[in-house]
Amino acid sequence: MIKAKQELLQALAAALGEIGLPEGTAPPVAAFESPKQAAHGDFAITAAMALSRPLRQNPREVAQALVAALQRQPAVQRWVQALEIAGPGFINLRLAAAAKQAVVTEVLAAGDGFGQQPASGRQVMVEFVSANPTGPLHVGHGRNAALGDSICNLLHSQGAEVLREFYYNDAGVQINNLGISVQKRLQGFKPGDAGWPENAYNGDYIADIAADYLARKTVKSDDREFTASGDVNDLAAITQFAVAFLRHEQDLDLRAFGVHFDHYFLESSLYSSGRVDDTVQRLVASGKTFEEGGALWLRTTDYGDDKDRVMRKQDGTYTYFVPDVAYHLAKFERGYTQVINVQGTDHHGTVARVRAGLQAVGLGIPAGYPDYVLYKMIAVMKGGQEVKMSKRAGTSVSVRDLIDWTSRDAVRFFLISRKADTEFTFDVDLALKANDENPVFYVQYAHARICSVLAAYRDQHGGNEDAVAPAGLAQADLGLLTAPTEAALMLKLADYPAMLARAAADLAPHDVAFYLRDLAAAFHHYYAAERFLVDDAALARARMALLAATAQVLRNALAVLGVSAPVAMARDLPADAEVAA
């Protein structure tokens, strides 16, 4: 059907070209829309309304001429069952059964590559998580990780070469507070004591760091290794050990979550390499700065900001957006002309400042560089009660808490199941349900059901794996797939490549989650309506082909979200879901 749709779009473009438009008037882009009601057809064409004014004709008259032009196209004669004019000038297109059935062969032939585009040579950097090494990864970081990793998978599916980067603050006030917190623990203080610093970190993990430091342990993370000296008075060594300890813990969290990074970038390197000072000098040389009140300011209002911003404070230290500008300048100079940052909505105020600083450098960096995906934090419900979160108090819900309470699959699917900029509540109890109320279970169980049917079919054929191999099933007589639920399922399979391309373009992995729920629903309806292991051998084989194609697309889409596709699982769905022999 993918081929059929492409050929029909070309046919529509040709038909639009036959319409005698006034000179200088461009024809509308050839496009299909989805009818609001399935009974109206498979595709809708709305071009007649757009052509009505330049042609000075009634839209229905234009639609009649367009239908006549379409009917002369070979692709329409091959793939279309009917063209119907409705309402003020809509053209409803009903596909021939063969057009819908073709998608089964296309999926089985492409396998894991169905929906994917070949390598384009486009390089994209996605920066995500980027958590400060001052504590465990909390659920907000989990949403960041799920979004970032899925966006990387989406971009890769469309041919991009993607670099996953983790930027972390290994210097500054927060890191200093971390070292002091551990040192105070080493000196026998604890939260609530008179000598406990107001800005100290209070979580139990601080005591764990102190204990390992005294034990002179060695900790290793993806980018560093450090052995503790045990010297309670060496604040620098304590701080370095604490950072390495927490980086190791974050690595464990990310591995448990199924996320990896290609590169780590240290904020401290921006200072040690002179990049921050060099960036400031470039901005001064550009004429976009001014001195006032003993501070150095950047004229960010020249680039759409609501007010100018301080770069260097009176005490000589830089404000936090200055190293951000230096960091993104480094990204651009590394050759990444497309950069995507996944960050919480609390970073919204820095977007205009960073972009302004990059434009002011004078290197021709585009106004919209970098791209941002901003997400809202989430609440967690367990046992009907909200789990209160306070990172500073050490009572935050961590990523590993959620994984331990539910599963990695549930956490990843749930955290991606809403638009990033919408509020979301993670319901632990819902994530544990083994029924159709739980969306990830509903989707995964669709795959498991298909695997069960295919296994039963294979067993009927003496356990011969060739009986369910894609190459063999692709030879089935797909013309037998005429049931309404089969047509609906095949249409949904055919939607996958276009949906994937749109989701990648919009940086919207939640669209994949929505699609998976719709595909699972189409399958479950089919499962309830038809028998599969029927006496008619040709029909049974055709339905196995459709089931195998459906399982393949479920696997492909779940892989984009980093979620597994189990072949078997416990279930609590209605009895009508049993395999029909």
pLDDT digits (tens, 9 = 90+) for 536-576: 999 999 999 999 999 999 999 999 999 999 999 876 444 34
Our CA angle for 271, 272, 275, nearest 5°, is 50
In this structure, which amino acid lies at residue 178?
A: L
The two beta strands, 90-95 and 43-45, are antiparallel
Q: Residue 550: name the closest of 472, 484, 495 by CA.
A: 495
In this structure, which amino acid lies at residue 546?
A: L
DSSP letters, 117-130, are ------EEEEE---
Q: How far is CA 454 from CA 112, 132, 378, 461, 508, in A?
A: 18, 48, 40, 11, 33
Q: Are 325 and 267 in contact (CB under 8 A)?
A: no
Residue 429, token pair as written in the block: 């109890």
In this structure, which amino acid lies at residue 216?
A: R
d(CA 394, CA 204): 7
d(CA 439, CA 430): 9
Residue 507, token pair as written in the block: 């940086």
Q: In sequence order, what are the beta bridge partners of 220?
A: 225
Q: How far is CA 141 from CA 131, 374, 378, 414, in A?
A: 7, 12, 10, 14
Helices (H), 80-203: 97-110, 139-157, 173-186
If one counts every other C-beta atom within 10 angstroms of the C-beta of residue 399, the result is 29
DSSP letters, 430-464, are HHT--STTSHHHHHHHHHHHHHHHHHHHHHHTTT-
d(CA 12, CA 66): 9
Three-state secondary structure along 391-414?
A: CCCCCCCEHHHHHHHCCHHHHHHH
The two beta strands, 289-292 and 295-298, are antiparallel
In this structure, which amino acid lies at residue 33?
A: E
Instruction: Report which DSSP code applies to 33.
Output: B
Q: Residue 358: name the closest of 451, 444, 288, 273 by CA.
A: 288
If one counts every other C-beta atom within 10 angstroms of the C-beta of residue 253, the result is 22
- Going along the chain from its start, the domains and CATH numbers come out as 2-95 (3.30.1360.70), 173-249 (no CATH), 439-577 (1.10.730.10)
Instruction: Report which DSSP code applies to 134.
Output: T
Residue pointed to by tokens 């461009």: 26
Residue pointed to by tokens 């960036």: 279
pTM value > 0.85? yes
Q: Residue 286: name the closest of 276, 294, 278 by CA.
A: 278
d(CA 207, CA 180): 12
Taking 70 as the pLDDT cut, the residues of the chain under it are 389-395, 571-581
Q: Residues 6 or more apart from 575 whose CB is under 8 A from it?
A: none
Q: Are 554 and 446 in contact (CB under 8 A)?
A: yes
Q: Residue 516: name the closest of 479, 562, 474, 451 by CA.
A: 562
Residue 74, token pair as written in the block: 């070979």
Q: Is 576 left (phi over 0), alpha (psi -120 to 50) or beta?
A: alpha
d(CA 483, CA 329): 58
Q: Are 340 and 388 in contact (CB under 8 A)?
A: no
Q: Residue 496: name the closest of 157, 162, 161 by CA.
A: 157
At residue 405, the pLDDT reads 94
